[in-house]
Structure formats: C-alpha cells, structure tokens
C-alpha cells in the first residue's frame, strides 16, 4: 500500500519544515535606515567635522605664518645686502612727492627682481605709464598669505589728493620701521636723533655703526596693520587713509612706514593706520636688522616696543616717545 502524500510546506505530520516547492526562490529580507538612525549618523559626522575643522584651520594658519616668516627673512637679507653694497640701510624715501621711490623698491636687486628695478624712469611720475614696469608688478615676498595673494590692485597717491591712477599698482603687507613715529625725518641740519629714529625713515642713510642698541635689538620691517575702511571715507581715498597704496612709490609715508608709539594693533579692527600688526593671532612678525625674525606679542609693553624701534635710545624709558608730524 502506497504511503500517503504529504503536501509541500505542511509540517503538521512530521514536525519538520520541508524544502520549498521546486522553482520557488527564498525571499530576501531588506531593511533600511530608520529616521532616528540617520539623524544619529549625521550628528556623529557633524561632531567629527566640528572637532577636525579647527585643527585644519590652525594647520593652515601655521603654514601661512611660516610663509610670512620666510618673506620677512628674504626682506631682511635684502636689507643686509643693500647695506653691504651701499654702506647704509635703504633710505625710506628720497622725496615726498610722486617723483621718487621707496625702501621696498631699493632692495629689489637683492631679491632677484632686477628687471623691475631697472624699469624705473626717474624723469616720469611713478603713476605714469612709462613707469608701469617698475611700479605695477607685484612681488610675492611683499604679501602676507594670511591677508591676500600678490595682486597689482593698489592706487597711486597724488599728493594727498584723489588718485589719478587706481587699481594697478603693486602693494605690500609689510612696512619699514621709521622709529618712534611713522613720519620721522632728519633735522634740518641732517642730524639723526637716535632716541627717535628708526633705521629706515624719510631721507634716511642709517649705517650699522649708528645702531648703538644693536642690530639684533632693532626692528627693520614688520607686518603692516591695515585698518578697516571707514564708511565716511570717499571710496577713492580709502586706500590712502588705510596706508595701503603703491609700495614702490615714495610719496605716502602711511604706506611705507609704521611706528610703535601707540603699541601694536589690538585686532584687525583697530582703526589706527600708524601701527604694526598682521592677521596672525596674538602676535606680529618682525625682521630685525641682523636678519632674524621674531614674533612679538600684540600686547607688548610700549617701552619695550620703543626700545626695539629706535636705533640708539639705550633702552631709556624716558626717551621721547613721539614727535610732531613733519608733513607728508
């Protein structure tokens, strides 16, 4: 007698599951993220990004600050080579009008920029087309990467009036140390007051022997603070008031020099255009006359800053800190 047929899938008689019918495929079970799980993943990713971003930004700023330090080292070396060749540090400027050149222009041959240096035509104004080759080519070593890339987008000064030529000149994020005030210049007799003079100022011809405070104790060039634009300024004069005009032309002391009489810029929002200061947090970079670069705390004492900025005050805190502006 034949055994009774058990239907497919029936477990009631044997108690065991049977194989699926021929040709039938097992059903795959799919499961997606729930909304709660998705939100948790997003929150974790956001937390990780939040933790990593400051570290990435800090690393980038460290690299930019290192590049800025290298720029100042290059500038400091050029100043030293200028002294070796010309027996004095570069003159801050040789005139107060648009017919002369600045300290930054004078060190170009010692920065492998002789082609720009040789393009200058002294019988033409600096803003003239004839001097485009000398005045309108940005040199990367004069730009701090924390602020901006090299660009020829500065205005020319026009004897303190509205500029005739705008947006084409080379600029700089560094300024020379004029001394205890940015507009210092020698007396009528030609003498230099070592308690107030810096090494690079209007009509300067300072030699190493005159720096009695020591080359390693005297600022040469530092980060230049550029204050924010005041809405009350005429747009075409904003760069004038910021001290951010053509760097190779001589006529604007606010562009060429900075001083320490009022300390270093407290922040990028500081409104004083006479101060040194950059975009590096907490510190301002300086190259000294011996060529070494040092980061000075932005809250450094005024007396210390004055000692660093004058060539021979003997670290005397009673030395005059500031003087009257002698014209621009």
Residue 104 lies in a domain: yes
- CA distances for 146 relative to 83, 143, 149, angstroms: 30, 9, 9
Instruction: Give how far the C-alpha of residue 72 lies from the chain's centroid of Cα atoms, to the nearest Å.
Output: 10
Segment 219-230 shows an average pLDDT of 97
SS3 (DSSP) at 84: helix
**pLDDT recorded at residue 23:** 54
**pLDDT recorded at residue 170:** 98
Q: Show Cβ contacts of residue 259 under 8 Å, excluding neighbours closer than 6 positions.
A: 177, 178, 179, 180, 181, 182, 184, 198, 274, 275, 309, 322
* Residue that wins the pLDDT comparison between 21 and 317: 317
**pLDDT recorded at residue 25:** 54
What would the pLDDT profile of 300-310 be if each residue is shown by its tens digit?
A: 999 999 999 99
In the structure, how many helices (H) and strands (E) does the chain have?
7, 7
Q: Show Cβ contacts of residue 295 under 8 Å, excluding neighbours closer than 6 positions.
A: 280, 283, 284, 285, 286
C-beta atoms surrounding 17 within 10 Å: 9
SS3 (DSSP) at 97: coil
pLDDT bin (cut points 50, 70, 90) of residue 72 is: very high
Choice among 21-25, 222-226, 321-325 with the minimum mean pLDDT: 21-25
**pLDDT recorded at residue 32:** 63
Residue 142 lies in a domain: yes
Residue 153 lies in a domain: yes
Phi, psi (degrees; rounded to nearest 5) at 209: -65, -20
Segment 57-84 shows an average pLDDT of 88
Pairing of strands 219-223, 169-170: unpaired
What is the number of alpha carbons within 13 Å of residue 306 lying toward its C-beta?
A: 21
Which of 60, 59, 72, 58 shows the shortest CA–CA distance to 295? 72
Segment 286-292 shows an average pLDDT of 97
Residue 101 lies in a domain: yes
What would the pLDDT profile of 268-278 be if each residue is shown by its tens digit?
A: 999 999 999 99
Instruction: Answer whether 154's CB lies under 8 Å from 246's CB.
Output: yes
Residue 314 lies in a domain: no
Instruction: Answer whether 260's CB lies under 8 Å from 180's CB.
Output: yes
Structure-token pair, residue 45:
């990713």
What would the pLDDT profile of 130-162 be if each residue is shown by its tens digit?
A: 999 999 999 999 999 999 999 999 999 998 999
Choice among 46-50, 51-55, 87-91 with the minimum mean pLDDT: 51-55
Range of the domain at 259: 50-309
Average pLDDT, the chain: 87
In the chain, at which residue ranges do the beta strands (DSSP E only) sit?
A: 152-154, 169-170, 174-179, 219-223, 257-259, 283-288, 293-297
SS3 (DSSP) at 236: helix
Residue 113 lies in a domain: yes
Instruction: Answer whether 272's CB lies under 8 Å from 243's CB.
Output: no
What would the pLDDT profile of 14-36 be if each residue is shown by its tens digit?
A: 555 555 555 555 555 556 668 77
Residue 178 lies in a domain: yes
**pLDDT recorded at residue 112:** 95
pLDDT bin (cut points 50, 70, 90) of residue 206 is: very high
Provide the number of structural domains found in the chain: 1
For the chain, what is the radius of gyration of the CA atoms? 33
Choice among 111-120, 290-299, 317-326 with the minimum mean pLDDT: 317-326
Q: Percentage of the chain with pLDDT > 70? A: 84
**pLDDT recorded at residue 58:** 61
Q: Percentage of the chain with pLDDT > 90? A: 70
Residue 328 lies in a domain: no
Choice among 108-117, 284-293, 314-323 with the minimum mean pLDDT: 314-323
Write out the H or E segment, with its range, that includes residue 156. Answer: none
**pLDDT recorded at residue 328:** 43
């Amino acid at each position: 007698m034949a055994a009774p047929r058990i239907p497919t899938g029936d477990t009631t008689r044997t108690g065991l599951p049977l194989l699926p019918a021929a040709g039938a495929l097992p059903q795959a079970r799919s499961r997606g993220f729930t909304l709660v799980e998705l939100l948790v993943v997003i929150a974790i990713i956001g937390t990780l990004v939040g933790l990593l971003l400051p570290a990435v930004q800090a690393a980038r700023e460290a690299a930019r600050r290192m590049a800025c330090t290298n720029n100042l080292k290059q500038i400091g070396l050029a100043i030293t080579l200028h002294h070796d060749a010309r027996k004095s540090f570069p003159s801050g400027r040789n005139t107060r009008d648009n017919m002369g050149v600045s300290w930054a222009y004078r060190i170009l041959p010692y920065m492998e920029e002789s082609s720009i240096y040789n393009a200058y035509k002294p019988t033409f104004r600096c803003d003239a087309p004839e001097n485009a080759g000398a005045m309108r080519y940005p040199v990367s070593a004069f730009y701090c990467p924390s602020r901006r890339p090299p660009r020829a987008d500065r205005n020319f000064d026009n004897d303190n009036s509205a500029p005739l030529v705008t947006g084409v000149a080379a600029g700089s994020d560094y300024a020379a140390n004029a001394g205890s005030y940015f507009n210092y210049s020698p007396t009528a007799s030609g003498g230099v007051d070592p308690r107030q003079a810096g090494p690079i100022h209007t009509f300067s011809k300072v030699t190493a022997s005159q720096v009695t405070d020591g080359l390693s104790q005297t600022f040469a060039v530092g980060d230049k603070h550029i204050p924010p634009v005041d809405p009350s300024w005429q747009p075409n004069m904003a760069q004038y008031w910021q001290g951010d005009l053509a760097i190779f032309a001589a006529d604007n002391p606010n562009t060429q020099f900075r001083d320490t009489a009022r300390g270093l810029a407290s922040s990028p929002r500081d409104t004083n255009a006479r101060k040194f200061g950059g975009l590096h947090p907490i510190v301002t970079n300086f190259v000294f006359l011996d060529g070494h670069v040092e980061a000075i705390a932005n809250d450094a004492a005024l007396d210390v800053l004055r000692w660093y900025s004058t060539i021979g005050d003997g670290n005397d805190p009673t030395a005059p800190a500031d003087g009257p502006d002698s014209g621009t």
